[in-house]
Chain A
Amino acid sequence: MLWLGGAAAWAQAPAGNEFDTAVASLPTASYMEKEVLAGQIARSGHPQAQALLQGWLDGKLHADASGHVWLEGEGGYVDPASGSAGKVEADDLEKIGTNNRLRKALKGVLAQFALASPAASARIQAVREMRRELDESAVAALQARLPQETEAAVKHEIELALALAGLQAGEPAQRLAAIASLDGDRSAEVYNRLSQMASGDEADADAAVRNAAGAAVRSIESWRSFYQGVETLFFGLSLGSVLVLAAIGLAITFGVMGVINMAHGELIMLGAYTAYVMQLLLPNHIGLALLLSIPAAFIVSGLVGVAIERGIVRHLYGRPLETLLATFGLSLVLQQLVRSVFSPLNRSVQTPGFLSGSLQFNDLLSVTWIRLYIVLFMLIVFAALWLTLNKTSLGLKVRAVSQNRRMATAMGIATSRVDAMTFGLGSGIAGIAGVALSQLTNVGPNLGQAYIIDSFMVVVFGGVGNLWGTLIGGMALGVTNKLLEPWAGAVMAKILVLVFIILFIQRRKQGLFPQKGRAAEGH
C-alpha cells in the first residue's frame, strides 16, 4: 500500500517535491505522521496547499484504493495538486481522517495562511489561533507579517502574540519589556506563562523578571477572583430562573387554586415534547420552530390542563389531598403515554445558533447565551403572567374566586369557567417552561419527575398564592445553591438548601410572603 502510494507520487512529480510526496503518503500515515506531513505541506509553498489543508480539516480529503488522494470540491473529486477533475466513485473512496490533535494542528497551520487574508477580522482570528501554539514557525510567520500589517487592531494582536513569545527571549531586559507590554492582557496563555516565570521549578533566572512576572500574576489573579464571583452569581440567577420557570405554573394551580397538582411536571414535559414535534415539522427552521413552539406548548399543555380540571380536579375542590392522589395517578399515565407515543428514549431538540455559544465580556468573564436568554425569558413570562392576573378581567375574576368563591358566584361570575381557565393558564405556563427546559436538558419521559419536587419547594418557600414569592423564592434558592456548591459540592449544596427550607418554614410557616387573611389556611 505504502509502496503503491509512493509509486503514485513518483509517477506524477519530480523527486523531492515535498508537497507531492507528503500528500501521497497521507493515506497510510498514522495521526502522528499526518501531523508532520501537514507541516511539510504548509511549508511547501505549493499554491494548492491551503485548499488541501482546509479540505482535509473539513473532512473532504479522500484516498482511493490505489492510494491516490482526491479532494472533494463542489464539482466533484479533483486532484489536490493539479486541481484537475478525476473520475472516481464516492463509495470506493476512503476518507483521510483527522483526530482532535491533528485538527488543532491543521487550524494552526491554516491560521498562518489566514494571516494574509484580506479581512482584518480573519487576520485577528488567525493571530488568536496561533497564540495557542506559539512554535518557531508561528513566531516567524507573525514577525514576517508585522511590518506589512496595516490594520492597527491586527498589529496590536500580533504585538501581543510576539510579546507572549518574547517571554522566552534570551535577554532579561527583553523579557521585562515583554511583561510590560503584556500588561492588561489577562488571557490564560499569558497567565500560565507568567506564573511559570514567577515561581516554581521553571521560575525565571532573573530576580527582576521574577518579581515583575509575580506582580503581573497577582493583578490577574485578583481580577480572576472578582470575575469568578460575578460568574457564580450569574450561575445562581440562571439556576434560579429555571426553578422559577418550572414552579411558576404551579404558583397558579397550587398557589391560587390550592390544587396539589402532581401532574405539573408532566405538563412541563408535554411542553418540551411540543418543542420537539415543532422541530420535526420545521426541520429546516430550528429557530423559528422553537419560537413557534412557545405558543404551541402553551396551548397543548393548557388544553390538557383544562381537560384535567374538567375531568378530575373539578370534582375534588375542597379536598386538596385527594387532588394530590388523583393527579399523581394521572402523572403516571402521562409518563407512560409519552413512552408509548415517543418511545422511552430521550428526544433530541436542536439548539438554534443564536442560543448556543457564549457572550465573551473579556478574557476572564463570559456568560452562555442560552442561560442569558433563559433569565430574560423567565422575566418576560413572569411579567406577562403578573399582568394577566392583575390587569385583566380574567385575572380579576381569578383572584375574586380564589378569595371568596361564594361571593364571586353571587356576583355572577361563572366560577367553574374561571376555574377551568385558571388551571389552563397555570398548565400552559408549565408547557412554556417545558420549551425552555428542552434547551437545557433531556426531553424524555422522566423530565417532569426531575422538577416536580423542586417546584413545590419553590412555591411553598416563596409563600403559597404569591407570584412575587415564587420569583424571589426561586431566585434565592438558586443563588444559595450556587454559592454553596463551590465548597460543599453539588449534592451537599442541594441537601443544605433543603434543610434550610425546612428550618425556614419553622420560622415563617407561611413562606417568604405569607398570604393575608383566612384564605391562607389552605388545607
Chain B
Amino acid sequence: MTFMERLLAWRNERGAFGFYAVLLATAVLVPLLNLAVPEGSALHMSTYTVTLVGKYMSYAILAVAVDLIWGYCGILSLGHAAFFALGGYAMGMYLMRQIGTRGVYGNAEMPDFMVFLNWSELPWYWQGFDMFWFAAIMVLLAPGLLAYVFGWLAFRSRVTGVYLSIITQALTYALLLAFFRNEMGFGGNNGLTDFKEILGFDLKAPGTRMALFLATALALGLAFAAGRMITRSRLGRVVQAVRDAESRTRFIGYRVESYKLWLFVFSAMLAGVAGALYVPQVGIINPGEFNPINSIEVVIWVAVGGRGTLYGAVLGAVVVNYAKTWFTTVLPDIWLYALGTLFVVVTLFLPQGLVGLFAKLKLRRGAA
C-alpha cells in the first residue's frame, strides 16, 4: 500500500479509537483529580484547571465543526466565529434571565445593562429566554438559520474559494459591529456577564463546574461520533468528492449545493453548541467573539492538528490553546512570537499537521 493509503487507513481507525480512549480517560481522571484527590496534593487538579480543560473541549467541538466543512468539504469558512458566538449569546441570554432580581438594580425582568441605560422594557427578542428549553433550541436554531440563509444564497450562486471565505468573513465582521452597538440590546461591548445560576445550580459551585465539564466532554464525544458517522457514510464520500472535483460530482448527478448547504448548517449548529457550552464556563460572552481573527484561529487549530481528520482537529484545538495559556503565563511579553512562529513552522513543515507527523513517524518505525 502507498503512503497515502496507509495514512488513510491509520487515520480512520487508530485515530478515532485513540481519541475515544483519551476522552474517556480525561472524563474519568479530571473529576478524580479534582474531587477525590485532596487540596494541596501535587496531583490535585483545581477547579480552575477543570474549567480550562472544559474550555479547550468546547473549542475542540468548534474545531470539529470547522474541520467538517473545511477539511472534508473544502469550504474555508472564516465565519464560524459568528455561529459560535450566536450559540454563546443564546446561552448567555438564558443565563442573564436566570439572574432575575439578583441583578444590582434588583429588576426582575431586565438585565442590569438595560436598566442603567434606562430601557423601558425587555425587547421582544429577549422573550422566552427565561426557559432553558427555548434557549437550548435557539442555540441550534440561531446559527443554523443564519447558516441556512447565507449558505443558500452563496452555494446556489456557486460562490467558491476565496470569494466564499471573504464573504463569510464579511458576515461575522458585520455581526461584530452590530453586536457592539448598544441599541442592539445585547449589552454592547460589555456583552453578557456576571451569571449566577444554570438550571438552578450555582455556577460557582465546583459541582456545577464539574457537571458542565462532563457535559462538554459528552458533547465533544457525540460531536466526534456524529462527524465520524457523516464522514464515513456515502454522504461523507460525496462531500469529499465535492472537495476534490466539484464539477465532476455534478456530472454524475449530485446536487452539490444541497450537500454543501446541509453540511454547512450542521457545522454551524455544532459551532453553536460549542459556544453554548463555552459561555457558562468562561462566564462572559461579548462581541469580541465575533472577531474574524477568531475564525482564522480556529482554522489554524485545525491545520495544526491535521485537516481532514476529526481527531486531528481536536488535537489542534487543544494543543494551540494550551500553548496559548502556557505562553501567556511563562513569557507574557513575547508569547506572540512563539505562537506566530508555531503557525509558520507547522504550515511550512507539517502540511498534514501533527497527525501527518505521527503517521510519518509510525511508517518510519514500520519500515525499520
Direct contact of A and B (CB under 8 A): yes
Are A329 and B342 in contact (CB-based, < 8 A)? yes
Bound Cα distance from A506 to B158, whole angstroms:
8
Interface positions of B from 339 to 366, Cβ below 8 Å from A = 339-344, 346-348, 351
Nearest-neighbour CB distance to chain B for A246, whole angstroms, equals 15
Q: Which of B9-17, B131-139, B166-174, B258-266 makes up part of the contact surface?
A: B166-174
Which residues on the A side are within 8 Å of B160 (C-beta)?
A: 509, 521, 523
Q: B303 at interface (Cβ–Cβ under 8 A)? A: yes
**Stretch of B53-61, B105-113, B207-215, B292-300 that contacts chain A:** B292-300
> Is A29 part of the binding interface, using a Cβ–Cβ cutoff of 8 Å?
no
Q: Does A56 contact B (CB under 8 A)?
A: no
Instruction: Indicate which residue in A320, A332, A456, A506 contacts B339 across the interface (CB closer than 8 Å).
Output: A332
Contact A464/B169 with A330-B344, A336-B340 known, Cβ cut-off 8 Å: no
Count chain B CB atoms within 10 A of each CB in A260, A332, A449 and give the residue with the most.
Answer: A332
B248 → chain A, closest Cβ, in Å? 14
Q: Using Cβ atoms and an 8 Å threshold, which residues of chain B touch A522?
A: 161-162
B219 interfacial contact with A, CB 8 Å = no
Which residues of chain B (282-340) have a CB below 8 Å from chain A? Answer: 292-293, 296, 299-300, 303, 333-334, 336-337, 339-340
Number of interface residues of B (CB under 8 A): 42
Q: Which residues, 503 to 523 on A, are CB-close (under 8 Å) to B?
A: 503, 505-507, 509-511, 521-523
A-contacting 9-mer, from B38-46, B81-89, B175-183: B175-183
Q: Is B117 an interface residue (CB 8 A)?
A: no
> Is the pair B170, A498 in contact by a Cβ cutoff of 8 Å?
yes
- The interface residues of chain B lying within 8 Å CB-to-CB of A337 are 337
Contacting residue for A498 out of B158, B173, B181, CB 8 A? B173
Jot down 6 A-B pairs with beta carbons below 8 A, ordered by A: A315-B348, A328-B296, A328-B343, A460-B163, A502-B174, A523-B161
Instruction: Tell me if A457 counts as interface (CB < 8 A to partner B).
Output: yes
In whole angstroms, how far apart are the Cα atoms of A172 and B347 in the complex? 83
Report which residue of B167, B169, B181, B339 has the largest number of chain A beta carbons within 10 angstroms of its beta carbon: B167
Contact of B235 with A by CB under 8 A: no
Asked if A177 lies at the interface with its beta carbon under 8 angstroms from chain B, I say no
Encode B105-147 as 1/0 by CB contact (under 8 A) with A: 0000000000000000000000000000000000000000000
Which 6 A-B pairs have CB atoms at the shortest separation, nearest pair first? A329-B343, A523-B161, A332-B340, A333-B340, A336-B336, A498-B174
- A510 is contacted by which of B163, B169, B173, B296 (Cβ under 8 Å)? B163
* Contact B157 A326, beta carbon cutoff 8 Å: no
Contact indicator B159/A333 (Cβ below 8 Å):
no
Residue of A nearest to B342 (CB): A329
A418 on the B face (CB < 8 A): no
Identify which of B76, B157, B334, B344 contacts A509 (C-beta below 8 A).
Answer: B157
A254–B166 CA distance with the chains assembled, in angstroms: 12
With A453-B169, A501-B170, A506-B154: A521-B161 Cβ-Cβ less than 8 Å: yes
Q: Across the interface, do A453 and B173 meet the contact criterion of CB distance under 8 Å?
A: yes
Asked if residues A332 and B162 are in contact (CB atoms below 8 Å), the reply is: no
B residues lining the A interface (CB < 8 Å): 76, 150, 153-154, 157-163, 166-167, 169-171, 173-174, 177-178, 180-181, 292-293, 296, 299-300, 303, 333-334, 336-337, 339-344, 346-348, 351
CB pair B341 A329 closer than 8 Å: yes
Give the distance in Å from the alpha carbon of A492 to the alpha carbon of B337 in the complex.
Answer: 36
CA distance A453 to B79 in the complex (A): 13
A505-B167 in contact given A328-B296, A336-B334 (Cβ < 8 Å): yes
How near does chain A come to B367, taking the closest CB pair, in angstroms?
26
Q: Flag if A457 contacts B170 (CB, 8 Å).
A: yes
Check B343 against A457 for contact (C-beta < 8 Å).
no
* Cα-based distance from A312 to B345 in the complex (angstroms): 9
Residue A262 at the B interface, CB < 8 A?
yes
CB of B177 within 8 A of CB of A326, answer no
Residue of B nearest to A503 (CB): B153
User: Does A495 count as interface, using CB distance less than 8 angstroms?
Assistant: yes
Taking CB as reference atom, which chain B residue is nearest A449? B293
In Å, the complex CA distance between A240 and B344 comes to 33
Question: Once the chains are docked, how many angstroms separate the CA of A507 from the CA of B344?
Answer: 36
Given the interface contacts A326-B348, A332-B339, A333-B341, does A509 sit within 8 Å of B173 by beta carbon? no
Binary B-proximity of A342-386 (CB < 8 A = 1, otherwise 0): 000000000000000000000000000000000000000000000
> Is there a chain B Cβ closer than 8 Å to A4's Cβ?
no
CA distance A322 to B299 in the complex (A): 10
Which of these, B166, B178, B180, B333, contacts A456 with CB under 8 Å? B166
* B169 & A333 in contact (Cβ 8 Å cutoff): no
Tell me, in angstroms, the Cα distance from A141 to B243 when the chains sit together. Answer: 84
B334 cross-chain contacts in A, Cβ below 8 A: 336, 340
A233 within 8 A of B: no
**A119: CB under 8 A from chain B?**
no
Is A502 in contact with B167, judged by CB distance below 8 angstroms?
yes
User: Which residues of B sit under 8 angstroms from A254, Cβ to Cβ?
Assistant: 162
User: Quick check: B344 and A322 within 8 Å, CB to CB?
Assistant: no
